Amino acid sequence: MSRIGRKPIPVPSSVTVTVEPEVVRVSGPRGNLEERKNRAIEVVQEDGQLLVTRPTDRAEHRALHGLTRSLVANMVEGVTVGFTKTLEIQGVGYRAQLKGKDLELALGYSHPVPIKAPEGIEFEVPQPTRVIIKGNSKQVVGEIAAIIRKQRPPEPYKGKGIRYQGEYVARKVGKRA
């Protein structure tokens, strides 16, 4: 059995976990999350820890075991600490601003690009060229960050566009005369 199978998930005292045959529910100070799970994979809570086990070492069960353990660990982290993604905007005249809870981007188009904040997601704009996305679901935070980045991905010649913080964009040399 691999090391991941023996690694328990610590559950803080402020978090409650409900395990049903097909669903795992986690609630904490930052909200509630729910995830479906396979019936073959067991999630057991004991001594302030969650232990995920599989019935056999077949490839299918090993894959589901790792997936379930990662999803449950991310749910516990999400309702306690939460997840954030930071996007950087580069380009002359490119900027972001908050309109209520939603985000409005000026990206060189003839119109502003509005982005609605889904349930459980918050936007922060500490500078006009930086957007911070916060939420308790790792999947939703990453998905919204990808949607925003897709509005104007970084281009390789001048580097203009929206990129993740710390993302390296391979630059190309332009045509020469």
Alpha helices in the chain (DSSP H): 3-6, 59-80, 138-150
Q: What is the pLDDT of residue 60?
A: 93
Domain boundary pick from 21, 55, 80: 80
On whether residue 32 sits in a domain, the answer given is yes
| 19, part of any domain | yes
Q: Residue 47's pLDDT is what?
A: 87
**Full pLDDT tens readout for the chain, 177 residues:** 455 557 899 999 999 999 998 999 999 999 999 999 999 999 998 888 999 999 999 999 999 999 999 999 999 999 999 999 999 999 999 999 999 999 999 999 999 999 999 999 999 999 999 999 999 999 999 999 999 999 999 999 999 999 999 999 999 998 887
7, 80, 9, 6: which is closest to 49 by C-alpha?
A: 9
Query: pTM of the prediction?
Result: 0.88
The whole-number pLDDT of residue 1 equals 47
End-to-end CA distance of the chain: 62
> Which of 51, 80, 109 represents a domain boundary (last residue)?
80
174 located within any domain: no
- pLDDT the model gives residue 5: 56
Domain that holds residue 32: 3-80
Buried b (16+ CB within 10 A) or exposed e, 129-168: eebebbbbbbebbebbbeebbeebebeeeeebbbbeeeee
Query: Could you tell me where the beta strands, DSSP code E, fall in 29-144?
Result: 31-36, 42-46, 49-53, 83-90, 95-99, 102-106, 113-115, 121-127, 130-135
Give dist(CA 121, CA 146) in Å, integer.
Answer: 14
Is 130 part of any domain?
Answer: yes
One domain for residues 102 and 119: yes
C-alpha closest to that of 77 among 11, 143, 6, 145:
11
Range list of H helices, 3-58: 3-6
Give the model's pLDDT for residue 174. Answer: 87
* Tokens linked to 31: 């909200």
Q: Which residue, of 65, 80, 95, is where some domain finishes? A: 80
Domain of 74, CATH number, reads: 3.90.930.12
Q: State how many domains the chain has.
A: 2
- Same domain membership, residue 50 and residue 92: no
Separation between Cα atoms, residue 69 and residue 148, nearest integer Å: 29
